Amino acid sequence: MIDHAHDLASVREATDRLLTAVGKLDDAAVAEPSRLPGWSRGHVLAHLSRNADALVNVFEGRPMYADAAVRDADIERDAPRPRDVQLTDLRDSAARFQAAGALPADWSRTVELRGGVVDTAARVPFRRWVEVELHHVDLGIGYELEDLPEEFTERETDFLADRFAGHPDVPPTRLTDGTRAWRTGREAAAPEATVTGAPADLLGWLAGRRDGSALTVAGGPLPALPPL
């Protein structure tokens, strides 16, 4: 069962960690490259602020973004801003998201996200949690996949394994961290490969944040995953 109230609290805690970390940067550091190709840290922060507002749109029944071009233009517009402006925007947009999530609502209703993806409203707080945690890592300022809350790592691994489940380009694959196991890729009676690694390394590979070199594979090569 998805507990949206729990996830909203987790988003708040993750945002507080992010705000504290960004507050230690200066303007020059914000302008430096992030770990995402072609994006500065300012791009990442601008995206996080605009994503919060976009998810308010989702809560309120509007399109998440007007269109892809507007989304991209907004990020490019906001990326060069100084640290203090980025921080204020990130804090204020996060507060708007929390306020929208606190309103009485039918959490079982279906909502539409970017690219026509649909989900239940109750899952939107977790999706925001993913944005905040993974993009905090993407900033490259000392917060790593190993620092993510254990609950988050397990749930996001569940989500990504399910996302690739049934994908025709991903061979039947078993994933395990030595304690828990997941299945992903094409349907089959048995997996073609078993991928084993630490929780952070499995998540990093599934989320496109690590190349999988720290993982061990039995039964074949490491499967190639399509982009998220």
DSSP string, 211-227: -STT-EEESSSPPPPPP
Residue-by-residue pLDDT tens, the chain, 228 positions = 799 999 999 999 999 999 999 999 999 999 999 999 999 999 999 999 999 999 999 999 999 999 999 999 999 999 999 999 999 999 999 999 999 999 999 999 999 999 999 999 999 999 999 999 999 999 999 999 999 999 999 999 999 999 999 999 999 999 999 999 999 999 999 999 999 999 999 999 999 999 999 999 999 999 999 998
The Cα–Cα gap between 226 and 58 comes to 26
The Cα–Cα gap between 25 and 80 comes to 14
CB 59 within 8 A of CB 96: no
The Cα–Cα gap between 163 and 50 comes to 24
Residues 6 or more apart whose CB falls under 8 angstroms from that of 38 comprise none
First vs last C-alpha separation in the chain: 25
CB 163 within 8 A of CB 175: no
The tens digit of pLDDT for each residue in 92-110 reads: 999 999 999 999 999 999 9
Question: For residue 103, which of 61, 63, 65 has the smallest C-alpha distance?
Answer: 61
Question: For residue 209, which of 196, 199, 221, 195 has the smallest C-alpha distance?
Answer: 199
Q: What is the DSSP string of 128-187?
A: HHHHHHHHHHHT-SS--GGGS-HHHHHHHHHHHHHHHTT-TTS--EEEE-SS-EEEESS-
Question: For residue 137, which of 21, 8, 32, 9 has the smallest C-alpha distance?
Answer: 21
**106-141 as b/e, with b when 16 or more CB fall inside 10 Å?**
ebeeebebeeeeeeebbbbbbbbbbbbbbbbbbbbb
**pTM of the prediction?**
0.97
Task: Give residue 1's pLDDT.
Answer: 77
Task: Give residue 160's pLDDT.
Answer: 98
